């Protein structure tokens, strides 16, 4: 799929109108959102959506998220809006929360991987919503990266993966959240988290008395039938193998230093992914700092950027500190575990 990709800043004259026109004509357009960049196509055009899978190299049994600009656009897309869904929308939309609902017949099966549910989100990014509004269409948009690689949080990552594979890229600057949206199944009375994100379980429990969590979030379940993006496959992965060390922070530092010495003596180039609290505990020159543990939102915003930076550094192995799995830390560890192929050591 060799195309001449148009790249424009979001604030350039008529850039958003041109993006909307391309989407209406069946094209592929990369749009910024507050989470990560998305690879957009007309969600009602099965052929256009098929080109998303081709451009990304994405498995066809991995469902896509449909993006809208206004709640009124839901009416044609779903059969039933449950009370659970209404509560979630009222509290968290627009924002980094995707809701799984019973799909209408207008949604092509390629969007849902044959499921009778569809994942829908209203992004909290004015550029994204304006493009969707101008197109007058719901837009299917997974992360704008080659399948399996870390999701793109800036325009350079998008160009690296998708230049010549899409019609247009809209540069909206660096994303804010840095990890993909929370996915919440609201088809029943009790909401279920299918993928953790910036809207945390703790946030959801402020409006719901009970919130369940899908077993696939923190376990390596290869036999799962994905109800949401990010559930089944190894995702978010740097080129190098990655191992996560979890447990007591002092023990984590000791073990990473031990492993670094072992790998270095084998002639391997080692990268260490650490936090601000421990950065002075390592001598490794290929050391990248996620941020402070007391500020997990900073860690979330930098995670994919740093995984891609390790690719540029050509390390052979990445040793990563685990963080606490509370709040958005749950989403961070979900992404890290999948990036590492669940190679985790507790100390």
List, for residues 104-116, the tens digit of each pLDDT value. 999 999 999 999 9
Q: What is the pLDDT, as a whole number, of residue 227? A: 60
Structure tokens at 139: 């837009």
Percentage of the chain modeled with pLDDT above 90? 89
* Whether residues 41 and 188 fall in one domain: yes
Q: What is the pLDDT averaged over residues 215-230? A: 62
* Whether residues 141 and 264 fall in one domain: no
165 domain-assigned = yes
* Whether residues 271 and 192 fall in one domain: no
Q: What is the pLDDT, as a whole number, of residue 43? A: 98
Would the pLDDT of 230 be above 80?
Answer: no
Structure tokens at 80: 């039933």
Q: What is the pLDDT, as a whole number, of residue 216? A: 78
* Whether residues 36 and 144 fall in one domain: yes
Q: CATH number for the domain including 249?
A: 3.40.50.11030
* Whether residues 69 and 199 fall in one domain: yes
pLDDT band at 220 (very low <50, low <70, confident <90, very high): low
Q: What is the pLDDT averaged over residues 89-107? A: 98
* Whether residues 121 and 252 fall in one domain: no
328 domain-assigned = yes
Q: What is the pLDDT, as a whole number, of residue 156? A: 97
Question: What stretches of the chain adopt beta strand conformation (E)?
Answer: 6-9, 29-31, 38-42, 65-67, 97-102, 117-121, 139-140, 168-171, 182-185, 192-195, 212-213, 241-246, 270-274, 287-289, 317-321, 344-346
Residue 246: domain span: 241-346
User: CB-based contacts of 300: which residues, under 8 Å, 6+ apart?
Assistant: 177, 178, 179, 198, 328, 331, 332
* Whether residues 163 and 246 fall in one domain: no
Span 123-135, pLDDT tens digits: 999 999 999 999 9
Least confident range from 87-91, 232-236, 307-311: namely: 232-236
Q: What is the pLDDT averaged over residues 203-224? A: 82
Write down which residue in 185, 217, 249 finishes a domain.
Answer: 217
Q: What is the pLDDT, as a whole number, of residue 168? A: 98
Q: What is the pLDDT, as a whole number, of residue 60? A: 80
Q: What is the pLDDT averaged over residues 186-206? A: 96
224 domain-assigned = no
225 domain-assigned = no
User: Is the pLDDT higher at 250 or at 233?
Assistant: 250
Place of tokens 């390592």: 282
Would the pLDDT of 217 be above 80?
Answer: no
The mean of the pLDDT values for the chain is 94
Q: What is the pLDDT, as a whole number, of residue 271? A: 97
Would the pLDDT of 232 be above 80?
Answer: no
Give 155: exposed, middle or buried? Use CB within 10 Å, 0-12, 13-18, 19+. buried
Q: What is the pLDDT, as a whole number, of residue 285? A: 87
**Number of domains the chain contains:** 2
Q: CATH number for the domain including 182?
A: 3.90.870.10
Span 267-280, pLDDT tens digits: 999 999 999 999 99
DSSP at 127: H
* Whether residues 39 and 180 fall in one domain: yes
197 domain-assigned = yes
Q: What's the CA dihedral at 119, 124, 128, 134 to 10 degrees?
A: 90
Q: What is the pLDDT averaged over residues 144-171? A: 96
* Whether residues 178 and 264 fall in one domain: no
Would the pLDDT of 231 be above 90?
Answer: no
* Whether residues 186 and 327 fall in one domain: no
Percentage of the chain modeled with pLDDT above 70? 95
233 domain-assigned = no
Q: What is the pLDDT averaged over residues 28-47? A: 98
* Whether residues 213 and 252 fall in one domain: no
Span 254-270, pLDDT tens digits: 999 999 999 999 999 99
* Whether residues 186 and 245 fall in one domain: no
285 domain-assigned = yes
Q: What is the pLDDT averaged over residues 310-320? A: 97
339 domain-assigned = yes
Write down which residue in 184, 201, 217 finishes a domain.
Answer: 217
Q: What is the pLDDT, as a whole number, of residue 3? A: 82
Q: What is the pLDDT averaged over residues 207-219? A: 87
Count the residues in the chain. Answer: 347
């Amino acid at each position: 799929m060799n195309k001449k990709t148009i790249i424009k800043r979001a604030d350039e004259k008529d850039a958003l109108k041109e993006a909307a026109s391309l989407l209406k004509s069946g094209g592929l357009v990369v749009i910024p959102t507050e989470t990560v960049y998305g690879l957009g196509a007309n969600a009602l055009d099965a052929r256009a959506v098929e080109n998303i899978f081709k451009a990304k190299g994405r498995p066809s049994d991995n469902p896509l998220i449909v993006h809208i600009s206004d709640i009124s656009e839901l009416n044609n897309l779903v059969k039933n809006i449950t009370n659970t869904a209404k509560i979630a929308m009222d509290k968290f939309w627009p924002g980094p929360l995707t809701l799984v609902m019973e799909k209408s017949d207008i949604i092509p099966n390629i969007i849902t991987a044959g499921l009778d549910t569809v994942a829908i989100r209203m992004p909290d990014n004015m550029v994204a919503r304006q493009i969707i509004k101008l197109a007058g269409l719901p837009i299917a948009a997974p992360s704008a990266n080659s399948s399996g690689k870390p999701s793109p949080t800036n325009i350079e990552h998008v160009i690296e993966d998708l230049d010549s594979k899409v019609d247009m890229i809209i540069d909206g600057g660096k994303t804010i959240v840095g990890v993909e949206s929370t996915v919440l199944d609201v088809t029943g009375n009790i909401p279920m988290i299918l993928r953790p994100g910036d809207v945390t379980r703790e946030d959801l429990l402020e409006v719901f008395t009970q919130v369940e969590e899908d077993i696939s979030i923190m376990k390596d379940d290869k036999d799962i039938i994905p109800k949401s993006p990010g559930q089944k496959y190894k995702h978010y992965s740097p080129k190098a193998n990655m191992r996560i060390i979890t447990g007591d922070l002092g023990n984590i530092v000791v073990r990473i230093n031990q492993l670094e010495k072992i790998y270095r003596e084998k002639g391997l180039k080692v990268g260490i992914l650490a936090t601000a609290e421990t950065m002075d505990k390592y001598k490794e020159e290929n050391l990248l700092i996620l941020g402070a543990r007391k500020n997990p939102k900073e860690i979330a915003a930098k995670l994919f950027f740093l995984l891609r930076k390790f690719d540029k550094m050509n390390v052979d192995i990445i040793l990563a500190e685990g963080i606490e799995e509370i709040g958005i830390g749950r989403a961070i560890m979900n992404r890290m575990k999948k990036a590492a192929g669940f190679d985790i050591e507790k100390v």
